[in-house]
Amino acid sequence: MSKNDVQDVLFKNGMIYTVDEKDSWAQAVAIKGNQFTFVGSNEEAQSIKAEKVVDLEGKMVLPGFIEAHAHVTWASIDAVFKVSLFGGECADDYLAAIRKFVEDHPDLPVYEGAGWENPMFEKTGPSRKLLDEICSDKPMMMWSHDKHSLWVNTKAMEVCGIDKDTQVPAGNIIEREADGTPKGTLREFAAIALVDPIKPVFSKENYKQAITWVQKHLAQYGITSMLDPILDLDENSIPALLEMSKDGELICKMRGAYRSFENDPYKHIDLYEKTSAAADSHMFQLNQMKIMADGVIEGKTGYLKEPYTGEEEYRGDPIWDYDVLAEFCKKADALGLDLHFHVIGDAAAAMVLDVLEGIEQDNPKRERRPVMTHLQVVDAADYRRLAALNVTAVTNPYWHFKYRGFFEDIEVPYLGERAYREYPMKSLMDAGIRLGAASDYNVTPIPAPLRGIQIGVTRVGLDEDSSDMDWVLAPEERVSVADLVRAFTMGNAYACRLDDIAGSIEEGKCADMVILEKNLFDQPVDDIYKVKVCQTISEGKVIYEG
């Protein structure tokens, strides 16, 4: 920056935590265009000329938060075009919401919704008969909050030919009644794919409308960049994002991972290179491949090294055949894509590590940035391999507590003592493993990083007393506020290949930042999530003001 240059805006008198390599603090920052042009002290800033000067009055400034694993296209379509079941406290709440939606939308050919939770029903999931009572002449499909289970009515199964004889691959489940009749709950993607023929198709314009909404929605939480981990080439989300990027309609940087298909791995193999080349703009890039290694504990589809508690041998199953997975990952890697794995169980983590070691042996020269996300049950014996293979652990600190009803009713009965050690963070970090942090929105309905930071620090729910050790989940896994801030900024920036332009407040980087009412480091840990987001700035422009 030349001394004679006039900056667009100069912020001064702030508590600016830059999250650079030295964890530096500053008092002032200048922006010109979409870049930071100065970061330093109030005294150093005295000679800077600016069109606008903002007195921060002691407020805290952080780099814009990065969301490294959020289903922003799915979630926005859910929010704008489907019945929302999120926040329901019992099965009756879900049924009331569905009934009202049907009454308000009598002309829809298919009813779709999302957000129900497993603990509200029997272990084998909700029944088709509950939906039949609301609507029996049109297909109905309701996604669970984690998107790993689908609840359908009898009509949906009839139209799609799902009956007593229908089988699904290992790692997938059709829940059944005593006589073998499908109950109405399908678990994991190959089983859920059975209803693809009736799935509503959303247009490019629908997606553009939804993405416009979701950018503003996440901006209120201080988020300026986000990665969608399942962009499907069979849908219109990618064309919408390409057009929005070209037309300057993206206010947040978007990164994406292709959805893979374990039952048809190579269906889009000829499209990845061309699509990624088209999506190579500053605001939108497609540079990852999403792979489901296993399912989820609550559906008993997570893949474990030791059997589920109460089972003699059943450990869950991997979603992919190992040899098919290894070969597909090598091909995706050869196309220059980073591998982004959904990993819940310790056996799934070990399998993925075996795959990554094989790729590294075949081509050791490539600079890879593999991601494992979720990591609910991890074997400490695998920590060394995670670090050696440069895996970024994109954790979900929003979940790192004993969720009442869920923890004691599902996780402890299914995992036993493993439930009390689930979701490691501190031990991963101490082993030299880079941490990211994400919400998995809309699995987490409120993707506010300040919530994730508080829970990651306290390991209790937002309304719990962090000094009540009976409700602290694995207290030895607590990390610091600084650790979580770095995970939500530079950790995620690295995982998304944004670290050269985002993740810290440094000269030359994109002017992405969030202004907070109070300094997080001065707040009681139980009050972090209450701190107000005053402004979110992306590419030098205010995209949210509270």
pLDDT at 452 over 90: yes
Question: Is the domain 6-66+508-545 a CATH 2.30.40.10 member?
Answer: yes
User: What's the pLDDT tens digit per position in 384-406?
Assistant: 999 999 999 999 999 999 998 88
How confident is the model at residue 374, as a pLDDT? 98
Please name the fold of domain 204-495.
Answer: TIM Barrel (3.20.20)
Average pLDDT over every residue of 341-345: 98
How confident is the model at residue 365, as a pLDDT? 85
pLDDT at 323 over 70: yes
pLDDT at 153 over 80: yes
d(CA 225, CA 238): 17
pLDDT level of residue 2 (50, 70, 90 thresholds): low
Residue burial 214-243, b: 16+ Cβ < 10 Å; e: rest: bbebbbebbbbbbbbbbbbbebbbbbbbbe
What are 264's two structure tokens? 């048809």
d(CA 6, CA 33): 11
Alpha helices in 199-286 (DSSP H): 204-219, 237-246, 272-278
Give the relative orientation of helices 346-362 and 322-334 as an angle to the nearest 10 degrees: 50
pLDDT at 170 over 90: no
Start-end of CATH 2.30.40.10 domains in the chain:
6-66+508-545
β partners of residue 377? none
Q: With contact defined as beta carbons under 8 Å apart, do 352 and 399 qualify?
A: no
Give the three-state DSSP class for 10: strand
How confident is the model at residue 145, as a pLDDT? 85
How confident is the model at residue 504, as a pLDDT? 98
pLDDT level of residue 147 (50, 70, 90 thresholds): confident
How confident is the model at residue 3, as a pLDDT? 58
pLDDT level of residue 79 (50, 70, 90 thresholds): confident
How confident is the model at residue 392, as a pLDDT? 98
Average pLDDT over every residue of 436-449: 95
Q: Cβ neighbours of residue 248 under 8 Å, at least 6 residues apart?
A: none
Least reliable range by pLDDT among 3-7, 224-228, 316-320, 517-521: 3-7
pLDDT level of residue 341 (50, 70, 90 thresholds): very high
Start-end of CATH 3.10.310.70 domains in the chain:
72-198
Higher pLDDT among residues 201 and 423, named by residue: 423
Average pLDDT over every residue of 47-58: 97
What are 77's two structure tokens? 């379509």
Three-class secondary structure assignment of 306-339: CCCCCCCCCCCCCCCCHHHHHHHHHHHHHCCCEE
Share of the chain above pLDDT 70, in %: 99
Q: With contact defined as beta carbons under 8 Å apart, do 333 and 182 qualify?
A: no
Start-end of CATH 3.20.20.140 domains in the chain:
204-495
Least reliable range by pLDDT among 140-149, 178-187, 285-294: 140-149
Q: Cβ neighbours of residue 156 under 8 Å, at least 6 residues apart?
A: 128, 139, 140, 141, 162, 195, 198
CATH of domain 72-198: 3.10.310.70
Higher pLDDT among residues 491 and 79, named by residue: 491
